[in-house]
A and B are shown apart, each in its own frame.
Chain A
């Protein structure tokens, strides 16, 4: 059975894509734990590519400032990651909370499709 498509939050997705593209004058930027990136095998170039091409699949306003967004996307090397972030849009601040690699399931049918297409 194919996986149920995840809900995409369009406004949030547009915001995070623009955040990744824009030369930001703000001094806040991206907050992250270097060790969690190392552990997940992801670098900042990959994070930026996920922001630039990925989708926000979960968004929830927090009681305090900001909102919790989950962003899923490709790091430009064919590896998918799921990034849990706290975003404060007014401050252009993104705090990376968790990095998870998404296991890719390739079905036999998809493999055949890809082969045929090539």
Chain B
């Protein structure tokens, strides 16, 4: 049934194909259908906390052991708003080589990929990853203070970070199944309260374990 301009409803599942991710991302119980735009006749949706969502998607992907392909490297870089030559410099590789890795004509070495993943994971907590990376390259970064500013639970973040990256074994075998991540908003203290205020722990839940899409 067609929606009117002012009708709103929360969707149980919404596959967010406009995120720009080269894998499937589904949002559960949080995307609001805003009805039809009166001018264009198109459906409009609302996504809460886009910045937090992008960070959660990046963390989920770089924590997954499957080797990053070129499109995924580019996605992670763009999601963090980084320039290709800046990342290449950080990874101590030529800009041409990094460009070929993103284009998929070269494979990124495992050690470089691990370093890229480590930085990407942490960078989701930086206010401005591009500025922080520039400071790192120039040897002027104060990472501890930057992290404290962004992470709600720095201890938990540090624990997850250490667990994931000390244990991770990047799979080098190509797997044709599409990756699929699901996210939902953490439940507020009283979700039924009208105009409820979410506390500072409010963020996107990372999936307990990534699942592969069927087919």
Choice from A25, A36, A53, A75 contacting B40 with Cβ under 8 Å: A36
Does A27 lie within 8 Å of B44, measured CB to CB? Answer: no
Find residues 1-60 in chain A having any chain B CB closer than 8 Å to their own CB: 20-38, 43-49, 52-53
Does B18 lie within 8 Å of A34, measured CB to CB? Answer: yes
From B62-70, B112-120, B164-172, B195-203, the one touching the partner chain is B195-203
A selection of 15 A-B contacts at a CB cut-off of 8 Å is: A21-B51, A23-B150, A26-B48, A29-B46, A30-B47, A31-B44, A32-B44, A32-B45, A33-B42, A33-B43, A33-B44, A36-B40, A44-B20, A48-B81, A76-B83
Q: Is A77 an interface residue (CB 8 A)?
A: yes
- Docked CA distance A44–B48 (Å): 12
Are A44 and B50 CB-contacts (below 8 A) given A21-B127, A31-B45, A34-B17?
A: yes
Are A21 and B128 CB-contacts (below 8 A) given A29-B46, A45-B75, A46-B78?
A: yes
Q: Chain A contacts of B42 at CB under 8 A?
A: 33-36
Interface residues of A (CB under 8 A from B): 20-38, 43-49, 52-53, 75-77, 95, 97
- Min CB distance, B2 to chain A, in Å? 15
List 6 additional A-B contacts (Cβ < 8 Å) besides A30-B47, A34-B45, A44-B19: A20-B51, A21-B128, A23-B55, A24-B50, A25-B202, A75-B78
- Docked CA distance A47–B54 (Å): 12
Q: Chain A contacts of B54 at CB under 8 A?
A: 44-45, 48
Kindly report which residue of chain B lies nearest to residue A23, judged by CB atoms: B52
List of 4 A-B pairs having minimum Cβ-Cβ separation, nearest first: A43-B20, A29-B48, A45-B20, A33-B42
Q: Chain A contacts of B127 at CB under 8 A?
A: 21
- Docked CA distance A21–B123 (Å): 12
Does A38 lie within 8 Å of B18, measured CB to CB? Answer: yes
Secondary structure at the B interface, as helix, strand, loop or mixed, is: loop
Q: Chain B contacts of A38 at CB under 8 A?
A: 18
Q: Chain B contacts of A46 at CB under 8 A?
A: 20, 78
Does B46 lie within 8 Å of A30, measured CB to CB? Answer: yes
Q: Chain B contacts of A77 at CB under 8 A?
A: 78
Q: Chain A contacts of B37 at CB under 8 A?
A: 33
Q: Chain A contacts of B198 at CB under 8 A?
A: 25, 27
- Min CB distance, A32 to chain B, in Å? 6
- Min CB distance, A36 to chain B, in Å? 6
- Docked CA distance A24–B79 (Å): 17
Kindly report which residue of chain A lies nearest to residue B126, judged by CB atoms: A21
Q: Chain B contacts of A75 at CB under 8 A?
A: 78
Kindly report which residue of chain B lies nearest to residue A47, judged by CB atoms: B50
Does A35 lie within 8 Å of B51, measured CB to CB? Answer: no
Are A43 and B18 CB-contacts (below 8 A) given A24-B48, A27-B48, A35-B42?
A: yes
Kindly report which residue of chain B lies nearest to residue A33, judged by CB atoms: B42
Does B46 lie within 8 Å of A45, measured CB to CB? Answer: no
